[in-house]
Amino acid sequence: MKVISQIKLPVEKEMELFERKFLEAMSSKVALLNRITHYIVNRKGKQMRPMFVFLVAKMVSEGKVNERTYRGASVIELIHTATLVHDDVVDDSNRRRGFFSINALWKNKIAVLVGDYLLSKGLLLSIDNNDFDLLKIISVAVREMSEGELLQIEKARRLDITEDVYYDIIRQKTATLIAACCSLGAASVKPDSDAVEKMRKFGELIGMAFQIKDDLFDYGNEKIGKPTGIDIKEQKMTLPLIYALNNSNKKEKDWVINSVKNHNKDKKRVNEVIQFVKDKDGLEYAVKRMKEFQQEALVILEDYPASPYRESLELMVNYVIERKK
């Protein structure tokens, strides 16, 4: 059995019902919108975010979920989908998960409007049901994601990222959304309890480990075999590179920064930078930090009694750092 199916097992029924509710939450009187949202729903990914919501909710409340849990999962998926649609416009990307992106098929103007529509649908789903606590969790996540992206853009121009700034960027850009899923799950069944903050922290730690794993893929993995160097081409400063720079002399540092800034389209030079990072143990250091975040996340789960939901969340934490793509 594939790991994702195994993780999903204890919330399979909830996920099926969620898919129906999510489709309803997206519906509109405008035929074009329905056509586009239908296209989005049929090309969904692994649906990790709603899975987090349901697993956490069931773990903290001895296996119970309620309507608020379904709404929370729908809102997070609506807002996440909106950000993906907008991201594809910003990045001028023509593909998403192997399919054409919305902007590639329907042009930028429609893609931006669809993103806005999904965002407002998400907000209204919370407001109409007085889920103001859930709305706050989601709104904070959206604000932080935008700040994280802008901070990364600002730093990419100057290439002056310290390790602490890197953690700030990935905490906001990636970890904040997983943190929101987990705190939403807890808040939907146990509002105002300690579990809300505890699960937010749990999600944040997983998100940090997840992003470091993503950064490591740029240096090659068993499945792809060869490094991609995409982050270097896009002048993104990731943990392996930051560590290598921190452990270099001035001459090496100048060469790396010059390569990333001015020669990032030169394949040979990019490969030399990748080799330099490996020689400086940048990958080993990133793996070490990733595993520290993973272990911290697993410690939080120990506060809850053993259950199929806790087991699935443990599997999820391990899957995040062991995945091959």
Residue partners of 302: CB distance under 8 A and separation at least 6:
none
Q: Which residues contact 265 (CB under 8 A, 6 or more apart)?
A: 233
**pLDDT reported for residue 1:** 59
Q: In DSSP terms, which residues pair with 100 in a beta bridge?
A: 95
The average confidence (pLDDT) of the chain is 86
Confidence of residue 4 (pLDDT cuts 50, 70, 90): confident
Half-sphere exposure at residue 288, Cβ-oriented, CA atoms within 13 angstroms:
7
pLDDT at residue 67 above 60?
Answer: yes
What's the pLDDT score for residue 94?
A: 67
The domains of the chain, with CATH numbers, are 3-304 (1.10.600.10)
| pLDDT greater at residue 80 or residue 140 | 140
Q: Read off the pLDDT of residues 11-34 as tens digits, 9 standing for 90 and up.
A: 999 998 998 888 887 778 888 888
pLDDT digits (tens, 9 = 90+) for 132-188: 999 999 999 989 998 998 888 887 777 778 899 999 999 998 899 999 999 999 999
Residue for token pair 């990364």? 152
For 66, 140, 215, 240, 290, the CA distances from 283, given in Å and listed in that order, are 43, 32, 10, 5, 10
Query: Which of these, 172, 185, 112, 170, lies nearest to 141 by C-alpha position?
Result: 172
- Residue entry with tokens 């470091």: 212
- Residue 143: predicted pLDDT: 92
DSSP 9: G
62 three-class SS: coil
Q: Which of 105, 67, 68 is nearest to 88 (CA)?
A: 105
pLDDT for residue 223 is more than 60 = no
Q: Which long-range contacts (CB under 8 A, 24 or more apart) does 30-33 make?
A: 32/110, 33/114, 33/117
pLDDT for residue 43: 66
More confident residue, 84 or 175: 175
3-state secondary structure of 66: coil
Provide the pLDDT for residue 197: 95
Determine the Cα–Cα distance for residues 79 and 134; give it in Å rounded to an integer: 13
- Summarize pLDDT for 264-323 with one digit per residue, the tens: 788 888 889 989 999 999 999 999 999 999 999 999 999 999 999 999 999 999 998 888
The answer, yes or no, to whether residue 221 has pLDDT greater than 70, is: no
Mean pLDDT, residues 193-219 taken together: 93
Per-residue CA distances from 226 to 13, 14, 184, 217, 219 (Å):
40, 39, 39, 10, 8
DSSP conformation class of 30? -
The pLDDT > 90 percentage for the chain reads 42
Within 10 Å of residue 96's Cβ, how many Cβ atoms? 18
Other CB atoms within 10 A of residue 72 CB: 34
Longest alpha-carbon distance in the chain: 62
